[in-house]
Structure 1
Amino acid sequence: MELLDILQYTFFQHALLGSLFASIACGIIGTYIVTRRLVFISGGITHASFGGIGLGVYLGISPILSAAVFSVLSAFGVEWLSKRRDMREDSAIAVFWTFGMAIGIIFSFLAPGFAPDLSSYLFGNILTITRSDIWVLAVLSALLGLLFTLFLRPIVYTAFDREFARSQGLPVTVIEYGLMMFIALTIVACLRMVGIVLAISLLTIPQMTANLFTNSFRRIIGLSILIACLSCLGGLLLSYRYNVPSGASIIFFSILIYAGCKVGKLLLRNRN
């Protein structure tokens, strides 16, 4: 009855729709992130997006729009620097990670008037998402679904073995930069849900859980979407019941699912 009672509220309906589309987007692009071992890079892009938020606040434009532009440019910068022989990948990530956070802090304090509550961008609050946020997540999910349906094989080749993909005549550089752009856009689209601090978790934990049961790229995507949906639903109910931040609740619930699946698999293995 409790779930039926809160479903009558518009903000909770928006939260459910937003979590559904975010689960689809994160389940798809997150599988590529985990497969290609881009977790640290994605973390750098996530924190670099704070620079765009600070610029947006300072210039008086949408912080999410400016964060999207800043994140995409940072993603391209990390991808370009990481391919250079005179720059280590972790060093390139650290440059954009710290630069983005520094820019965000400086411009948010320089912004005229009262600065907005930046904690919502850092930790997220899915209950504040709007119809436009839902539409952005819906369009992004549709684009990712179409992209991975039409070009799944080239993406898998690129994720697992770049040199083999090149030998097959695939445009590896275009694929990598294109997917880095979608990683950045997915991160920004999920900021209102889980925030900068926790966004990377939604892109990795469901995939780690799915990987406990299968090694198939396609099946990991499907399971990741399902697990992410369950995590969002459980996190929302937990947030509503105990009045705790929704972003942290969603990630906490996803970790509980992972831990439960991991322990269950170990118990079954020991029994057999």
Structure 2
Amino acid sequence: MILLASSLTDVGQVLSHVLSFQNFGELVVLVRNSLIAGALLGIVGGLIGPFVITRNLPFAVHGISELSFAGASIALLIGVNVVTGSLIGSVLAALIIGMLGNRARERNSIIAVLMPFGLGLGILALALYQGRSANKFGLLTGQIVSVDNPQLGWLLAISLVVIVTLLVVWRPLTFASIDPDVAAAAGIPVRTLSIVFMLALGLSVAVSVQIVGALLVLSLLVTPAAAALRLTVNPVVVPLLSMLFAVVSVVGGILLALGGGLPISPYVTTISFAIWLVCRLVGGRREKRGSRTRGRLLPPTGSTRQVSAVSSAPTKTEVAP
């Protein structure tokens, strides 16, 4: 009993530290820019996420984030704007993957080569950096108070570029993502669309790294879309649900992180995973219910044989005299 009481006390202390909301209203004012940035990133991630899954590119998101991390780390080392360094790394990775990775096997091989190179280069730059350790840690796991007015302007401009680009190429990109061979036969520039999409994905990763960190970008650009696709395949509803799930994950993660004073990433990933888990359970129940309904509509096996036997029996006119 004593050990149980001690364990419960320890758990209570941990929860009080992780979810402490003293002076919460004052802290919300301090992270207003981060909340706006989180909402923007949720919209961007929700729009681009379904295409990432349809085109089988979750692995590419992680590869781009590693080079984005390397660019941001080098920028931090030499004293340049971190957003600029992150953008250069992301766009470079997106161009390499988009131009060289025509097939899935080639693309995965290129990403597997880029990932350790980018991560190693970023770690080297952080090891040489002599500034605050919080800046190093924030590039990997995200920060909630790091978005100042200039960075918010950058994020807003890049987000608008990505959103407008996706809206312009939405219909042909959807066609090319579902069936690239038929789309190419129909005259759609599949290769050009692929490069355009990879550039939009690179920009999305670059801005996401500033909030959730390089290691956990998948929770923003992939998990919400995966959750939405468990509920529906409607081409209009999926991006709307994906955006909703992404915004709830990021904004909710920021608000919860204010209570514990911890990095934002554990909260964002936990909320995103919880949404995906609920959607998966709901989708699984719907699939079971649908299979049971189809089973009831089908005739029994015995009756099927009887119907076939009757239909194959000769009629009176077919019987020989």
Q: What is residue 169 of structure 1 aligned with on the other side?
A: 187
- In the TM superposition, what whole-angstrom CA distance separates every residue of 1:84-116 from its partner, at most 9, and x where no partner exists? 79x7332211111111112222233345x5365
| Other structure's SS at 2:56 match | coil
1:192-212, Cα deviation, whole Å (9 max, x unpaired): 211001012210111011112
The aligned residue for residue 11 of structure 1 is 30
For 1:37, the equivalent position in structure 2 comes to: 56
Residue 25 (structure 1) aligned to one of 32, 37, 44: 44
Structure 1: stretches of 5+ with no match in the other structure: none
Classify 1:228/1:138 alpha carbon distance in 2 versus 1 (closer, same or farther; 3 Å). Answer: same
State the one-letter code of the partner of 1:132. Answer: P
Indicate which of 170, 190, 204 corresponds to 1:186.
204
CA contact (8 A) 2:39 2:251 kept: no
What letter matches 1:94 in structure 2?
A: A
Aligned to 1:114: 131
Find out whether 1:223 has 2:226 as its counterpart.
Answer: no
Aligned-residue sequence identity (percent) comes to 25
**Rounded Cα–Cα distance in structure 2 between residues aligned with 1:140 and 1:11:** 23
**RMSD (Å), alpha carbons:** 2.5
Q: Which residue of 1 aligns with 2:296?
A: none
Instruction: Give the aligned partner of residue 262 of structure 1.
Output: 280
Change (3 A) 1:132 1:220: farther
Structure-2-length-normalised TM-score: 0.76
After TM superposition, the structure 1 stretch with the greater mean CA deviation from structure 2, 124-133 or 35-44, is 124-133
- Asked which structure has the greater CA Rg, the reply is 2
Kept in 1, the 8 Å contact 2:212–2:264? The answer is: yes
Aligned residues: 269
Instruction: Tell me how far apart the structure 1 counterparts of residues 254 and 103 of structure 2 sit (CA, whole Å).
Output: 43
What amino acid maps onto 1:73 in structure 2? L
Question: 2:31 aligns to what SS in structure 1?
Answer: helix
C-alpha distance after superposition, 1:215-271 (max 9, x if no partner): 123321111111111112322232122333212211111111111232244456667
Indicate the residue corresponding to 2:101 in structure 1.
Answer: 82
Show structure 2 runs of 5+ residues with no match.
1-20, 293-321
2:236 aligned counterpart, secondary structure: helix
Aligned mates of 2:26, 2:179 — CA distance in 1:
46
Is residue 66 from structure 1 mapped to residue 85 from structure 2 by the alignment? yes
CA distance in 1, matches of 2:149, 2:230: 35
Runs of 4+ with >4 A deviation? 2-5, 267-272
Moved more, 90-99 or 2-11: 2-11
SS of equivalent to 1:128: coil
* TM-score after normalising by structure 1: 0.88
> Who is 1:210 aligned against?
228
For the Cα contact (< 8 Å) 1:11–1:128, is it kept in 2? no
Q: 1:5 to 1:99 in 2, by over 3 A?
A: closer
Q: Deviations over 1:99-151 (max 9, x none)?
A: 1112222233345x536531100000123212223223322332333233332
Q: d(CA) in 2 for partners of 1:58 and 1:243? A: 26
CA–CA separation in structure 2 for the residues paired with 1:155 and 1:102: 34
1:149–1:71: structure 2 CA closer, same or farther, 3 Å change rule?
Answer: closer
